[in-house]
Amino acid sequence: MPNVLILHGPNLNLLGTREPGVYGRVTLAQINAMLEEEAAARGVTLRILQSNHEGALVDAIHAAVGWADGIIINAGALTHYSYALRDAIAGVGIPTVEVHLSNIHAREPFRHTSVIAPVCRGQIAGFGARSYLLALWALLEEK
Ligand code: DQA
């Protein structure tokens, strides 16, 4: 049974009320419930963490070694500048899919760069909460 770590980065705890024109009205709890339902249907075990702290996300990636078969990460704004997250993903060597609710490439220029993309298997952006489901499917296809 595959084990997958889901990581949500800074400010994603505010989903539902945060910039609904960009991110919609779906809450993080609803996204997590959707993922749990899909995981249960596919025999996948999830661990889910949201943190506003870069170091906590790095620690979670390290702690995934020996447990996780894959990681799905929405690193929030850390996507655009966190070399620490990039090095953590590269360092553990666990297949990782990068996710964004919004299409970061259609937004402000600073969002067009993802420093974690080169160490991820792929990136899914722009499909709202469904981006996470697509990422889970992609990860399971990798196995
Ligand atoms: C985001 C996009 C990032 O640019 C932003 O900083 C976020 C959310 C997304 O899911 O669309 O916090 O990762």
CATH number at residue 32: 3.40.50.9100
Q: List % helix, strand, coil for the chain (3-state, nearest 5).
A: 50, 20, 35
Whose tokens are 């196995």? That residue is 143
pLDDT on residue 142: 79
Task: Name the domain count of the chain.
Answer: 1
Ligand 1, atom 1, lies closest to the CA of 76
pLDDT on residue 143: 55
Residue 75 pLDDT exceeds 70: yes
Residue 8 lies in a domain: yes
Residue 3 lies in a domain: yes
pLDDT on residue 108: 97
Q: What DSSP state is assigned to residue 16?
A: T
Distances in whole angstroms, Cα of residue 34 to Cα of each of 56, 62, 95, 120, 136: 24, 26, 22, 23, 11
Q: How far apart are CA 9 and CA 85, in angstroms?
A: 11
Residue 97 lies in a domain: no
Residue 37 lies in a domain: yes
Please say if 100 is a catalytic residue.
Answer: yes
Cα 111-120-94 angle, rounded to 5 deg:
140
pLDDT on residue 129: 96
Q: How far apart are CA 98 and CA 105, in angstroms?
A: 14
The number of the ligand 1 atom at minimal distance from the alpha carbon of 107 is: 4
Regarding the beta carbon of 11 and ligand 1, being less than 6 Å apart is answered: yes
pLDDT on residue 41: 96
Ligand 1, atom 12, lies closest to the CA of 76
In terms of Cα–Cα distance, which of 115, 2, 125, 123 is closest to 64?
2
Q: Which domain holds residue 12?
A: 1-69+121-133
Statement: the pTM of the whole predicted model exceeds 0.85: yes
Please say if 132 is a catalytic residue.
Answer: no
Residue 80 lies in a domain: no
Residues paired with 50 in a beta bridge: 8
Residue 57 lies in a domain: yes
Per-residue pLDDT band for 114 (boundaries 50, 70, 90) equals: very high
Average pLDDT of the chain to the nearest whole number: 97
Per-residue pLDDT band for 36 (boundaries 50, 70, 90) equals: very high
Residue 53 lies in a domain: yes
Mean pLDDT score, 90-119 = 98
Residue 113 lies in a domain: no
